[in-house]
Structure 1
């Protein structure tokens, strides 16, 4: 069992007030908060060994390089990648997806098909649309049902010999649905298609094993996992990463350069042009250390309690509708109340110190499916409490009364 009050003391921001009220932070699906243990790692880097990596012979450079590459090893171990060079540091999930989409530009042609799901974040839609425009490939969509589940029979019907790539999120950021990615991967591989899984929303709650999943590419961002913004990860099977061309040119990603010809470095440096977010990568590793010390099984169990409690309390409010009622979901609740605009409720909640997300959550096709402008989204992490949910419910009822 988690000692939540002890955990909360690790997060300085949870001690502050917003608009004169104690902060209740329920916007974790957008960005999680950062514990002091990770903040200390960031401060230590800039205070004691800030230097560029991989190039220098001096002590600071070597210390920074060692710390950065140790972080890569931590990420490899966490996701159970076969090789450390299968872990590519990026600026985040969106960068990772665009890197792969750019690489496949040279591998696709007119008549090829790629599949995405109806539950995707815009970052897992737009790059593939751009890829289709460049190559002449066609984009197909796995439809969803009213519960927020993907219709798997329709997915099977979409798969054919022309399918080259399948892209799906592990967990929907807008609805919390946990997709059956094992099944999706198995079916795609059966017809020879590669699979990329967007793990931005899953990695704070689950511990994906990329070898057990047999996934070709898996991507995530550190800022969802108690780490800093501006850094993320692309896992790719070695054979796939070797097939893809570099995404960007510059320093670090080269073997030799002349004005006549350039040859590229091996993995992972082939995809890591320029000076990286060194401190971010090191802090990413520290964030995984922190969460692994708590234990992902403990985190999942506790967050499921919060989800069940929050859902039950919200369902008691007259006129409130929850969007996303899949049997398998994580600690995200999207809802509306009657005809009240979600932005209006969100604004009033903020005045009472409660941070929720309102709008389409960069998942506009989902909102179009439900024929709504957006939702109010409350998303919980392991440092949230049932007492905070109670305060949220009280504030929500007050907001509804004010706006009715």
Structure 2
């Protein structure tokens, strides 16, 4: 695998001003940072509210650490005239600005798109909100849990009893961050070709909708009736020492499964011969499979099924995944050092194979304030005045009781 150094990455030289908070916006800009962009994370005096989410230590959290590698941090109070002017100067030196305030807030602090265009023609502004900048819900705050509920994801993910279930991780935030990263990359390509900028209207609602295209389409075509089994058999089964996941996408795969399980006669059983009939008898098929799977250990079945070309895999915990031989062979999740948490696993960004030696840990709040102000052209006496007046902060510790503004 060829590892890339910063000078070989595609967005080297691109400057990004990240005033977003939480996960979606910071994750999008981290994608650019992993591709070589210089990303400056701007935080208010109390810090990004993402610093309060997940496990916390010394002003960091697992959420903020996972979304802010390869960035520098400056702490600015945009409510002051001096702080707002600092942000405008930094924006005038940036190619991209990313924000995640509620619609209208970016204009109130003097960084709306028209202002930014006058400061730097061709600039790109990415705005992530809960429900979009316009429409009847635009003023509503949004969060991952709320959007999982509103978008149908919780119902789609219902358990066997039909009870809606929230996906345990911040799925909508992460997905919106991925879409936002792609949108920013596309806008940067347009900017390079034409010199034109854009204001990207991005939302958790739009991300949730795009991510669920297939189940949404199926629900529409089936007039809202849930089809729990697109292909049968498909599910998890207990073995003698743990669970496995098995999927048969084609009839031939089911026939191979039947042979491995010692029931070649299932190939001629009219209930099982085609996927359509198997769908009608899904519960019975799954019961018969589990009766056989529990007779042998998991590793035995995985080896036999893989030899037969049947899709399968173990139900791993994160600990088991990190110890998986294929994961380790590909070095997908190297352990890298962070000042607060020590050695921690950090999954690589596909396509951005930076050497671990070139990764900068997620910064402390205001860690680089003075350096950033110097690079922006401020004299030492002005920097001292900005810090003394509390318009900017250097190395401030996160207030664990602070409340962040929802998207």
TM-score tier by shorter-chain length is: under 0.3
